[in-house]
Structures are given as C-alpha cells and as structure tokens.
C-alpha cells in the first residue's frame, strides 16, 4: 500500500508565457515577457521596467520559446508516456484578449486551447489551469500601469468568465493567479506594474495586489455559478523563512518575513486581511483603497485549495547589518544558509524545507494543498548517443519527493505534485534556455539556435517509475 492516495495527481507544470512562442500568431497581443531579453540584459527591464522597457534588444526568447503552440501534440504524448495524471498549464490572457480591454475574445485563441484540452482528454491527463501566470496583456501595463488600476478587475473577470463558460465542464482545477506574492518581488511580471524610482512603490504593489485578490474572489463566485464542482486555488511562491540564529530578534524577523508572503494567502484562504496587516501597512505607509463590497466578496469567496511553488527555504536576520549580506539569487533576498548547497544559479537546495513548508501552510489554513512547482534548473549536456545523464536533477527530485511523503505521513492532505518545467522552457527570471528543469530536453540555446527537437533525459525514465509506483520507489 502506498502512502499517497490512488488518485494522487502526478505530473508537470508549464506556463504559456514561457513555452508557447507564436507570440504574434493568430491575433495574439503582446505579453509582458515578449519585451524581455535573455541573460544579463533581462535584469533591467524585469526589475526596472520604466527604464529597461524603452530599450530595443536583438533577441526576445519568448517570441518562439519552445514553440509549444505547434508542438503540443508531441509534447503531451511524451507527458503521457511518463504516466502523467495531470498537467498544469496556463492560458495566455493576451492570446484571448490581445489588448486586455476587448469585449469579445479572440476566437482563434480559444480554438488553440480547445485543441489542448482535447489532446489532454485523449491521454486522460487532468488539466490544472492557471488563469494568470505572469501574463497580464502588455497593453494594460503600458496604458493603465497594470493591476494598479481597478479596471483590471473588470477585464480579468471578463476573461475568466469566458474560460469558465467554455471549459468549466472539462477543467476542474483552476488557479486564479500564479505566485500572487511575486508582485512584491517582480512587480512587472507579477502585476504588469511599471514603477518609477520616484513612485510610492509599496502603495502601488499592495493596492495592485488588493485588486488581484478581489478579482480572484469574483472569479471564484462566477466559477461556482457555472459549475459548483470547480475547485479554485490560490498560489504562493512559498519557502519557509528561517531565523538566522536562535536570537529572539532573528526569530521575530523571520516571522515578519513569513507574514510578508502569507498575507495574500491569509486573505484568499480565510477571507480577510489578517490582524497584523494593520500595523504592517501603517509602517509601510500603505493606505489601501477599497470599495464598498470588497470585504464581503473576499469573505464569501475563499479558495478551495492552496497551491504553491517550492524551490528553497530562506534565511532572515533581525540585524540590519547582517541582512546587508543578503543575496538575490532567486528574486527573494535571502542570507546564505551554511548547511545548504546551491545550484549553479545560486538557488539553495533544502528538501526538508519542503516538509516544513507543507506542514506550516497546512497548520495555518487546514485546506488541501497542491505542490504545483518544484524542481532544479541546471545545465544539461547531450551525449554523442543522444542521452542526457541528469542524475543531479533526479537526486534533487527524489529527496524532495521523499520529504513530501513525510509531510503526508505528518497528516497533510495533498492533492498532487506537478514538477516545474517538465519539458525545458524559457526561464522566467533569466530568460535563458540553458537553465533547464525538464524531463524532456529541447534543442534550443540561449540565442534561439537549435532544431527544437525533443529528447528524453534519464530523469524521464526515473519519473516514469516514480509515477508507476505511486511514489513508493524513489530510488536512483
């Protein structure tokens, strides 16, 4: 008897903005990432878009990406060969609403997703759909400063309603926004926000997040009216923040950092801003503008499950001088944990942190959890005989799955596990292809050269075995 339930949703995860390509095909409008280059050049437009977006670059990795738009049949077939029970994917908002403010959706966009869901059905793969994965139409970022404008609620609800009406009978699991707390770390892709140095950054980010929260609740209301069976999830970029030492100031600092990520999930899971938010907003100088009815909507339409990404734990000190040594390897500033190793991109590796995080989140909310992202971005080499020995990835995944199962033994109800970038895709943070997460290799480099051929890595066969044994055999 395996520990995990028989209907445990094993699978992988991708996002439209990092996989589809076909960026201007069949009526699609510009996505936020379509203006971002790869490598070192990406940092400025990503983190300082008011300056960086005005620059022209030679190469934009999202324009073709791995061309999932034209390869989806082959790719889904490969997922099925691994035994996937689920695929988390996102819908490109600007493929359906090119400028974001249209009344009617782009039919050609819908027809593409019809075919995706047909193909998933053919292989008995359950779709997990993220409605907004870093994919607010660029036009709304440029014209309205994205989610800072309350009109975004209306546009999002219109878009989500189209999705629920068309796919609400065939898609059960929906995630309203990817990594909602990412708006505090990369506000451009999180919220379509173009913030200037002279702007009141905190006010803009938290106000925009409030609009996303209200939009998420309104979407939940509509989804349930269309099909009460639909399950709606929130999504957190998770990773427990540890105190740097047992000094009480460090413990308090870690608690505050954890609250900075949980604040949005507190709203989505419990239906109201937490008690600590009052002081927090006051100290940040944030004055949320709410409309009458917002609080009631948030209270009434909470989420059914909590999904999250987990790549690493984080480390925080109560001492401002020590905190100056924080690195920014993965968009979350963190001290270096001396007990952990790190990837080539400096992301610290902490399997036990996944068990800690699962337990913390469940203790806090008592709702079913879903790990919808986890994995290792690394450099892969193709051998002469077309094999790829990615033992480092297998080790990472095996150790994380082992801790995931420990958490289930601890009593955490877990719906499933979809590993990130199950096929190599463009990195969100760096725009590189070289940072690969997949079980399936895609022949394409950082400059966009390559055949786009798909190759099974060693991890492909390993994950196939894991799924087949429902997580009983994690050996490698």
Nearest-approach distance from CB 426 to ligand P53, in angstroms: 8
For residue 363, give both structure tokens. 């203790």
- Binding ligand P53 (rule: CB under 6 A), the pick from 153, 404, 428, 433 is 428
Nearest-approach distance from CB 330 to ligand P53, in angstroms: 4
Examine residue 414 and tell whether it contacts ligand P53 (CB under 6 A): no
Report the C-alpha gap between 144 and 251 in whole angstroms. Answer: 40
Examine residue 317 and tell whether it contacts ligand P53 (CB under 6 A): no
Examine residue 427 and tell whether it contacts ligand P53 (CB under 6 A): yes
Question: Residue 174 or 273: which CB sits closer to ligand P53?
Answer: 174
Residue with tokens 């786009």: 452
- Binding ligand P53 (rule: CB under 6 A), the pick from 330, 343, 374, 403 is 330
- Binding ligand P53 (rule: CB under 6 A), the pick from 22, 331, 342, 382 is 331
Exactly one of 20, 179, 316, 432 is catalytic; which is it? 179
Query: Who contacts 143 (Cβ-Cβ below 8 Å, separation ≥6)?
Result: none
Q: Which stretch binds ligand P53 (CB under 6 A): 21-29, 91-99, 328-336, 389-397?
A: 328-336
User: Residue 279 burial (CB < 10 Å; 0-12/13-18/19+)?
Assistant: exposed
Residue with tokens 């709203």: 267
Query: Who contacts 115 (Cβ-Cβ below 8 Å, separation ≥6)?
Result: 72
Examine residue 309 and tell whether it contacts ligand P53 (CB under 6 A): yes
Question: Residue 18 or 161: which CB sits closer to ligand P53?
Answer: 18
Which 8-state DSSP code applies to residue 41?
Answer: G
Examine residue 110 and tell whether it contacts ligand P53 (CB under 6 A): no
Examine residue 313 and tell whether it contacts ligand P53 (CB under 6 A): no
Nearest-approach distance from CB 253 to ligand P53, in angstroms: 20
Contacts with ligand P53 by CB under 6 A: the residue count is 19
Catalytic residue check, 179: yes
Report the C-alpha gap between 328 and 447 in whole angstroms. Answer: 25
Which 8-state DSSP code applies to residue 329?
Answer: T
Closest-by-Cβ residue to ligand P53 is 429
- Binding ligand P53 (rule: CB under 6 A), the pick from 373, 380, 390, 424 is 373
Encoded one letter per residue, x for contact with ligand P53 by CB under 6 A and - for no contact, window 115-154 reads -------------------x--------------------
Examine residue 377 and tell whether it contacts ligand P53 (CB under 6 A): yes
Report the C-alpha gap between 464 and 47 in whole angstroms. Answer: 38
CA atoms within 13 A of residue 160's CA, in its CB half-sphere: 30
Examine residue 311 and tell whether it contacts ligand P53 (CB under 6 A): yes
Examine residue 435 and tell whether it contacts ligand P53 (CB under 6 A): yes
Report the C-alpha gap between 31 and 17 in whole angstroms. Answer: 7
For residue 120, give both structure tokens. 């998933």
Catalytic residue check, 373: yes
Question: Residue 71 or 435: which CB sits closer to ligand P53?
Answer: 435
For residue 419, give both structure tokens. 């590993």
Examine residue 178 and tell whether it contacts ligand P53 (CB under 6 A): yes
Nearest-approach distance from CB 473 to ligand P53, in angstroms: 27
Angle at 409 between CA 256 and CA 360, to 5 degrees: 5
Q: Are 353 and 332 in contact (CB under 8 A)?
A: no
Q: Are 219 and 232 in contact (CB under 8 A)?
A: yes
Residue with tokens 């940092």: 43
Cβ count within 10 A of residue 104: 9
Examine residue 176 and tell whether it contacts ligand P53 (CB under 6 A): no
Examine residue 429 and tell whether it contacts ligand P53 (CB under 6 A): yes
Query: Who contacts 159 (Cβ-Cβ below 8 Å, separation ≥6)?
Result: 93, 96, 97, 100, 105, 131
Contacting ligand P53 within 225-254 (CB under 6 A): 237
9-13 vs 414-420, strand pairing mode: parallel
Phi-psi region of 145 (alpha: psi -120 to 50; beta: other; left: phi over 0): left
Nearest-approach distance from CB 156 to ligand P53, in angstroms: 18
For residue 372, give both structure tokens. 């919808």
Q: Which stretch binds ligand P53 (CB under 6 A): 153-161, 286-294, 423-431, 462-470?
A: 423-431
Question: Residue 45 or 318: which CB sits closer to ligand P53?
Answer: 45
Q: What's the farthest any 2 CA atoms get from each other in the chain?
A: 65
- Binding ligand P53 (rule: CB under 6 A), the pick from 420, 441, 462, 463 is 420
Nearest-approach distance from CB 240 to ligand P53, in angstroms: 14
- Binding ligand P53 (rule: CB under 6 A), the pick from 126, 179, 266, 390 is 179
Report the C-alpha gap between 359 and 283 in whole angstroms. Answer: 30
Binding site for ligand P53 (CB under 6 A): 15, 18, 134, 178-179, 237, 309, 311, 330-332, 373, 377, 420, 427-430, 435
**Which of the residues are catalytic?**
179, 373
């Amino acid at each position: 008897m395996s520990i995990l339930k028989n209907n445990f949703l094993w699978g992988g995860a991708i996002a439209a903005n990092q996989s589809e390509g076909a960026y201007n095909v069949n009526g699609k409008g510009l996505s936020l990432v379509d203006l971002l280059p790869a490598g070192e050049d990406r940092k400025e437009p990503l983190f300082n878009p008011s300056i960086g977006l005005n620059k022209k670059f030679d190469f934009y990795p999202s324009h073709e990406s791995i061309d999932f738009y034209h390869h989806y049949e082959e790719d889904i077939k490969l997922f099925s060969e691994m035994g996937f029970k689920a695929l988390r994917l996102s819908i490109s908002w600007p493929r359906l609403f090119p400028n974001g403010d249209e009344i009617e959706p782009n039919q050609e966009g819908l027809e593409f997703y019809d075919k995706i869901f047909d193909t998933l059905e053919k292989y008995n793969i359950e779709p997990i759909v993220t409605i907004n994965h870093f994919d607010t139409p660029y036009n709304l970022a440029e014209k309205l400063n994205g989610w800072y404008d309350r009109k975004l609620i209306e546009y999002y609800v219109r878009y989500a309603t189209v999705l629920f009406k068309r796919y609400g009978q065939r898609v059960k699991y929906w995630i309203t926004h990817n990594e909602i707390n990412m708006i505090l770390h990369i506000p451009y892709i999180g919220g379509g926000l173009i913030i200037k140095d002279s702007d009141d950054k905190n006010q803009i980010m938290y106000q925009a997040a409030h609009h996303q929260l209200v939009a998420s609740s309104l979407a939940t209301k509509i989804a349930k009216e269309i099909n009460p069976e639909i399950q709606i999830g929130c999504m957190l970029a998770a990773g427990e923040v540890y105190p740097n030492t047992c000094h009480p100031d460090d413990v308090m600092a870690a608690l505050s950092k954890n609250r900075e990520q949980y604040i949005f999930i507190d709203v989505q899971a419990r239906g109201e801003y937490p008690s600590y938010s009052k002081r927090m907003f006051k100290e940040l100088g944030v004055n949320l503008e709410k409309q009458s009815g917002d609080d009631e909507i948030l209270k009434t339409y909470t989420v059914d499950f909590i999904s999250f990404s987990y790549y690493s734990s984080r480390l925080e000190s109560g001492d401002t001088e020590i905190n100056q040594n924080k690195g920014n390897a993965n968009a979350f500033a963190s001290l270096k944990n001396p007990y952990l190793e790190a990837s080539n991109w400096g992301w610290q590796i902490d399997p036990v942190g996944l068990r800690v995080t699962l337990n913390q989140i469940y203790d806090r909310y008592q709702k079913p959890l879903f790990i919808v992202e986890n994995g290792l971005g690394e450099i892969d080499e193709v051998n002469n005989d077309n094999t790829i020995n990615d033992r480092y990835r297998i080790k990472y995944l095996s150790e994380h799955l082992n801790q995931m199962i420990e958490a289930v033994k601890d009593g955490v109800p877990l719906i499933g596990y979809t590993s990130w970038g199950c096929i190599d895709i463009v990195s969100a943070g760096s725009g590189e292809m070289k940072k690969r997460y997949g079980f399936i290799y895609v022949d394409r480099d950082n400059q966009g050269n390559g055949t786009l051929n798909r190759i099974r890595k060693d991890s492909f066969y390993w994950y196939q075995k894991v799924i087949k044994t429902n997580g009983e055999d994690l050996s490698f």
